[in-house]
Chain A
Amino acid sequence: MGGYSLTDLVSIMAMQGFAGLILFSVFVLMALGLAIIFGQMGVINMAHGEFLILGAYMTYICSHVVQTYAPALFPVYFFAAVVLAFGASFLLGIVVEWLLIRHLYKRPLDTLLATWGLSLILQQIYRSIFGAREVGVELPPWMMGALQTTDSIQIPINGLIVMGLTVIITIGVYVLIFRSRWGKQVRAVTGNRIMAGAVGIDTGRIDRYTFGIGCGIAGVAGAAFTMIGSTSPTAGQLYIVDTFLVVVFGGAASLFGTIASAFTISQARSTLEFFLSGSMAQVLVLLTVVGILMLRPQGLFTLKVRR
């Protein structure tokens, strides 16, 4: 580490840590949706990345519409876009559950394959509508800057917004699952499906809305994603393996585990990226995670579930 002074190193670590926090936020947003679906229903949704991209395209459309028809509202369009992204992905999720997933609950491996087919179809639809090239969303000026905290440490504002959004969504999910009547029903179905049905919970309906909400959160992740990367029809696929590992590593049914593992993986990766090349950092982190999963297949945190 020859050429760096101590203060340089501290600010590099701080900036790198912050980059890790942004990655962490996106991971959490993606993984939360996946964890709800996987943990609750045991369904592997390979099309999760495409729901994320749907949210991103919704944001893209929203920014264009607002810019053209109501430029005065442009500075705050993003908040409408988040709602729109959630709504679109939620609705698509419900339709997909009704058409496809509910026929396959007894065959989890086949869900994986069917949702992969779905992801191919969605990718092609995006390509037909939006073109194969990457599109970027234009951000209002106030979101573009950076906070200058010290001489050498800059904190980008859009990163802060992504993190704020993550905190809000996480709290929202927590309240929904652990404090609402609906969440109680969801947990009852996860714990013991047959008994939950016997006491009068409509398990089919719970499944449908759970799937929808998981997809909706992916849509919000997509809206957040537009601030740090550009959107293309196949961008969702790049994140799906990482996200699955986050969920499995954390322990599939545990929301807290998901957040903890997203934090560990993203921080490890962004810190290593400074010392190694990006690809080697990714390989090292993935290998470590796979290695730990071989030793502890149930993940870091587990929930007792009666099957």
Chain B
Amino acid sequence: MSLLARLNTPERRELLWLVIFAAVILVLLPAILEPFRLNLFGKYLTYGFVTLGLVICWGDAGILSLGQGVFFGLGGYCMAMFLKLEASSVANTKIQSTPGIPDFMDWNQITHLPFFWQPFHSLAFSLAAVVVVPTVLALIIGVAMFKRRVGGTYFAIITQAIAAILTILIIGQQGYTGGVNGITDLRTLWGWDIRTDHAKTILYFVSGITLILCILAARVVRMSKLGRLLRALRDREDRVRFSGYEVANFKIFAFCFAAAVAGIGGAMFTLQVGFMSPSLIGIVPSIEMVIFCAVGGRTSLLGAVYGALLVNWAKTTFSEDLPQLWLLAMGGLFIAVVLAFPNGLAGIFRLAIDRLPNGRGGRRQPGITPVVAEQAGAPQ
């Protein structure tokens, strides 16, 4: 058997794509990009976490969440709070009227560190909170909604409202959250300066490797019976319910998984970019994350991550040169994807592979069934 033929089982082909992805992220991009650009791609990678979660939640389980920015932001804020406390040591802040608390609190006449900031002195607690806080919020929302069989468009609107609530809350409570500017001026992680080019390159690799681990975890979920059930309840929820499964629990799992991964992405964003602000987590950024996922392909893990990289790269490039065209291009792209290519770039790519002349057409990779055109979408 030739090497190519042995590689040609569906599982192995999928692994091969993953290896290629890892090579692009960890070897190709660092080799060809200068540190500034690589840092930008590090930022785009953190959105890859969110789109990865959306593949499980939206592509597989059919739950459209317009509030992923909330989870991204919670993860990011947990990280930012730790970094901010480290940056606000008594020595660094001795010109303030109350040394030892973050500068924005001092500006807002707050003299004590609020109780919910206290635990963020600990790195271990903060790292745990990055995953736990978004997951717990998702669990609460999920239990409240899915147990009552709220789904479809209603769920989308309510998650959007939650994104609005969180943003207004953060902006309104300036003294506790840094307000509209967010938490800025982050300096070190356990004494390690995160602002240098060198540190940002290292953080890029940390993001890339973490992302690949998350892709592997998501892949395990998709290949398992759990993943098959998620896709089954997306297409025919009632049949799954009548088969004796508690549908709500599976939906809650998918939503929590997406939230946890988004939280990790948010924390990496804070480290890579050096700040976190409400403008990154509101309604508009949340929908943009869905756009990244839709453009890349909502049923393909790698497609969705490539989508996040490509759309963000295009956004940066276009808004440098032709800012007025960017919104038009983005809107048009989005309408085109929804109307003509519901499976995004990954769907186009898959079609192209299937059309290859050497007789491999018709094979589908397991666990990657395309979205059916007619989803059972009536609001319940």
Q: Which residues of A contact B (CB under 8 A)?
A: 42, 44, 100, 103-104, 106-110, 112-114, 116-121, 123-125, 127-128, 237, 241, 244-245, 248, 252, 277, 279-280, 282-283, 286-287, 289-290, 293-295, 297, 307
Contact indicator B327/A120 (Cβ below 8 Å): yes
Q: A120-B330, A241-B161, A286-B164 are in contact. Are A113 and B338 (CB under 8 A)?
A: yes
Rounded to whole angstroms, the CA-CA distance of A230 and B100 in the bound complex is: 43
CB neighbours of A100 from chain B (8 A): 335, 339
Q: A42-B153, A117-B330, A121-B332 are in contact. Are A110 and B342 (CB under 8 A)?
A: yes
Q: What are the 3 tightest A-B residue pairs by CB atom distance, in nearest-first order? A: A279-B172, A117-B334, A120-B331
The answer to whether the Cβ of B154 comes within 8 Å of any Cβ in the partner chain is yes
Contact indicator A124/B331 (Cβ below 8 Å): yes
Closest to A123 in B: B327
Q: A123-B327, A124-B331, A277-B172 are in contact. Are A44 and B153 (CB under 8 A)?
A: yes
Rounded to whole angstroms, the CA-CA distance of A138 and B129 in the bound complex is: 52
* Range, interface on chain B: 35 or more
Contact indicator A107/B375 (Cβ below 8 Å): yes
The answer to whether the Cβ of B148 comes within 8 Å of any Cβ in the partner chain is yes
Rounded to whole angstroms, the CA-CA distance of A121 and B325 in the bound complex is: 9
Contact indicator B156/A112 (Cβ below 8 Å): yes
Minimum distance in angstroms from A5 CB to a CB of chain B:
30
Contact indicator A283/B334 (Cβ below 8 Å): no
Contact indicator B154/A297 (Cβ below 8 Å): yes
Q: Which residues of B contact A (CB under 8 A)?
A: 64, 66, 144-145, 148-150, 152-154, 156-158, 160-162, 164-165, 168-169, 171-172, 283-284, 287, 290-291, 294, 324, 327-328, 330-335, 338-339, 342, 373-375, 377-380
Contact indicator B338/A286 (Cβ below 8 Å): no
Rounded to whole angstroms, the CA-CA distance of A121 and B324 in the bound complex is: 10
Most B CB contacts (10 A, CB to CB) among A110, A123, A245 go to A110
Question: Of A112, A128, A290, which one neighbours B153 at CB under 8 angstroms?
Answer: A112
Closest to B157 in A: A244
CB neighbours of A127 from chain B (8 A): 324, 327
CB neighbours of B290 from chain A (8 A): 113
CB neighbours of A279 from chain B (8 A): 168-169, 171-172
Rounded to whole angstroms, the CA-CA distance of A104 and B338 in the bound complex is: 9
CB neighbours of B338 from chain A (8 A): 104, 110, 113-114, 117
CB neighbours of B294 from chain A (8 A): 113
Question: Of B145, B168, B287, B377, which one neighbours A108 at CB under 8 angstroms?
Answer: B377
Contact indicator A248/B154 (Cβ below 8 Å): yes
Closest to A128 in B: B324
Rounded to whole angstroms, the CA-CA distance of A307 and B156 in the bound complex is: 20
Q: A112-B156, A245-B161, A290-B158 are in contact. Are A106 and B377 (CB under 8 A)?
A: yes
Minimum distance in angstroms from A128 CB to a CB of chain B:
6
Q: A117-B338, A280-B172 are in contact. Are A124 and B324 (CB under 8 A)?
A: yes
Rounded to whole angstroms, the CA-CA distance of A278 and B356 in the bound complex is: 60
Minimum distance in angstroms from B357 CB to a CB of chain A:
33
Contact indicator A241/B283 (Cβ below 8 Å): yes
Contact indicator A252/B377 (Cβ below 8 Å): no
Rounded to whole angstroms, the CA-CA distance of A259 and B113 in the bound complex is: 45
Minimum distance in angstroms from B73 CB to a CB of chain A:
15
CB neighbours of B331 from chain A (8 A): 117-121, 124
CB neighbours of B283 from chain A (8 A): 237, 241
CB neighbours of A110 from chain B (8 A): 338, 342
Minimum distance in angstroms from B101 CB to a CB of chain A:
22
Rounded to whole angstroms, the CA-CA distance of A128 and B328 in the bound complex is: 11
